[in-house]
Chain A
Amino acid sequence: MHRSPALDMPDVPKGQLPPHIELQRTRVLCNFDAPTHTENVQYSGAYSSMGVDNSLRMDQFCNNFRVEVIRLSEDDMEFDMIGIDPSIANAFRRILIAELPTMAIEKVLIANNTSIVQDEVLAHRLGLIPINADPRLFDDLSENDTPNEKNTIVFNLHVRCERGGPRLTVKSNELKWLPHGSEFPLATENTTSSSTSKPKTYTSFSCSQDSLPEFSDKSIGPKHPDIIIAKLGPGQEIELEAHAVKGMGKTHAKWSPVATAWYRMLPEVVLLQEIEDEKAEELVKKCPVNVFDIEDIAKGKKKATVARPRACTLCRECIRGDDWDKHVAIRRVKNHFIFTIESTGALPPEVLFNEAVKVLEDKCERVITELS
């Protein structure tokens, strides 16, 4: 980076930062010993002495903000979010992980478990199974609520390994959805009095869930049929009922709708001077992720080029030794985020991100109404 003493600096044009300050403002410089200029200048008057307004102008934000989808599949997506502050990008990430609701098994009523997996371990394993149900169609079950068709999904698991047969692997597809609710009678119920009426169970569904229009077209069940829950030896048996309710990732990670969601800043690799011939070959060899390519220029000469900057992991191999940091600079672009969302399957990743932004909007609205 070119530095010149303050007194020798050319007159700074009004409304524009001098190039070296602009570089410090927009890039993290990944030097060999440590990254520098990692901070973000937020204060609106930070550059007022240079006649530059750093305040937020919504029209400017709207013009500069861009989203580019790189990859999108059923439960995985990668996109670039350009022109946004890390505080807001991080808010989206935090909300995706901890504040979006999903359905997960919370209560397990075990009628019989003679397997070697202890009841509490089995219940924990069941809790972690992703349930393929849209959480937006359900209500929260608060402490005093009775479980009903709007806030609870009931599954039944009954497997038995016959004596003399081979050992049995219990997988998540054995969890059978009970749209009518629990089938276990309440233990306190007096059995003689209610011989005619329906016996009371652990849930009080007023109607069957599959009769509701939102579930009639698709049945509810575990997202993946092949998750191993337990293994049974001959003569062992598991009979239980699992109740899934709505919750959030900040209570327990089993309610997190994403396997993970993360972002990284866009790497920028700059050749500070022409790198030719043997030096170029050396540079290509130095990089373990093949960021550089060789280009033929006139008279059999070769020149190094930066072909795949996105692949750069900022390992800094390319600026190690000799004077390499005079030839190559690696930086990160501060307002360009490569965002990756891996959904666990209840909702597709693009819907999750949309919901996350909505959650942040709701939070703002709450504060505004509280202050009014």
Chain B
Amino acid sequence: MEHGSFSDHSKSTFSLSDEDHTLANSIRFTLNQDPRVAFCGYSIPHPSDARVNIRVQTTGDSAREVLKDACQDLMLMCQHVRSTFDKAVVDYKMSKPVKDMSIEK
């Protein structure tokens, strides 16, 4: 859910339900790394509500699009992490039997 103004799309607050620090802090990182962002931050208005508010203020671009790009960036990072991790695990499992044999000798 977006809370912003009709005339100025460069600043908005996005209210995400069923999310917490896990997503909000990661998105704050990717948003902060975007040169189009002038300010961003997040808050959890009440600890017993599963909801975060993410504030995005940009230098002119639509806040909604910038947030979408931040999510996209985070997703690409995750995909890269996953493929790198899987490759590292496969490599480890491949090298493991060799190591085991050398210990037995």
Query: Which A residues are closer than 8 A to B by beta carbons?
Result: 42-45, 53-56, 58, 61-62, 65-69, 72, 79, 81, 84-85, 87-88, 90-92, 94-95, 98-99, 350, 353-354, 357-358, 360-361, 363-365, 367-368, 370-372
Kindly list 13 other residue pairs between chains A and B, CB separation below 8 angstroms, not including A69-B88, A368-B75: A42-B28, A44-B33, A56-B73, A61-B77, A79-B85, A88-B26, A91-B23, A360-B22, A360-B26, A365-B75, A367-B68, A368-B71, A371-B67
| CB-defined contacts of A357 to chain B, threshold 8 Å | 78, 81-82, 85
Task: Give bound CA distance, A361 to B35, whole Å.
Answer: 23
Assess the B16–A65 pair: CB atoms within 8 A: no
Give Cα distance in the complex from A90 to B29, angstroms: 12
B84 touches A67 (CB 8 A): yes
Measured CA separation A151–B46 after assembly (Å): 33
Q: Nearest CB to that of B91 among chain A residues?
A: A69
Q: Please give the residue numbers on chain B whose beta carbons come within 8 Å of chain A beta carbons, in ascending order.
A: 2, 14, 16, 19-23, 25-30, 32-35, 37, 64, 67-68, 71-82, 84-89, 91-93, 96
* Contact across chains for B74 and A360 when beta carbons are under 8 A apart: yes
User: Are B81 and A65 in contact (CB-based, < 8 A)?
Assistant: yes
Asked if B34 contacts A44 (CB within 8 A), the reply is yes
Give the distance in Å from the alpha carbon of A93 to the alpha carbon of B77 in the complex.
16
Cβ–Cβ contact B72 & A368, under 8 A: yes
CA distance in complex: A367, B65 (Å): 12
The answer on a CB contact under 8 Å between A88 and B77 is: yes
Known A44-B33, A87-B29; contact A371-B68, beta-carbon cutoff 8 A: yes
A sample of 20 cross-chain residue pairs with beta-carbon separation below 8 angstroms, ordered by A number, consists of A42-B29, A44-B34, A55-B33, A65-B84, A67-B81, A67-B84, A72-B96, A81-B81, A84-B81, A87-B28, A90-B22, A94-B20, A99-B22, A354-B85, A357-B78, A357-B81, A364-B23, A365-B75, A370-B16, A371-B2
Residues B82 and A56 in contact, CB atoms below 8 Å apart: no
Residues of A within 8 A of B26 (CB): 87-88, 91, 360
Complex Cα gap A53–B26 (Å)? 20
- Using A91-B23, A364-B74 as known contacts, say yes or no to A56 and B33 having CB atoms under 8 A apart: yes
Q: Which residue of B lies closest to A367 (CB)?
A: B71
Q: Indicate if the CB atoms of B76 and A58 lie closer than 8 Å.
A: yes
Query: What is the CA–CA distance of A69 and B89 in the complex, to the nearest angstrom?
Result: 6
Chain B residues with CB below 8 A from A88, complex form: 26, 29, 74, 77, 81
Contact B68 A65 (CB under 8 A): no
Give Cα A43–Cα B72 distance, bound, in whole angstroms: 18
Q: How far is the CA of A135 from the CA of B77 in the complex (A)?
A: 26
Q: Which residue of A lies closest to B79 (CB)?
A: A361
How many Å from the CB of B61 to the closest CB on chain A? 14
Given A72-B92, A354-B86, A360-B23, A56 contacting B71 (CB threshold 8 A): no
Determine whether the beta carbon of B78 is less than 8 Å from that of A68: no
Chain A: minimal CB distance from B30 (Å)? 6
Residues in B whose Cβ lies below 8 Å from that of A44: 32-35, 37
A365 contact set on B, CB distance < 8 A: 71, 75
- The 4 A-B residue pairs whose C-beta atoms are closest, nearest first, are A56-B33, A69-B92, A42-B32, A67-B88
Q: How far is the CB of A362 from chain B (nearest CB, A)?
A: 9
A360 contacts which chain B residues (CB < 8 A)? 22-23, 26, 74, 78
Chain A neighbourhood of B20, CB < 8 A: 94
- Contact B88 A68, beta carbon cutoff 8 Å: yes
Chain B residues, Cβ within 8 Å of A56 = 30, 33-34, 73
List residues of chain A with CB within 8 A of the CB of B88: 66-69, 79
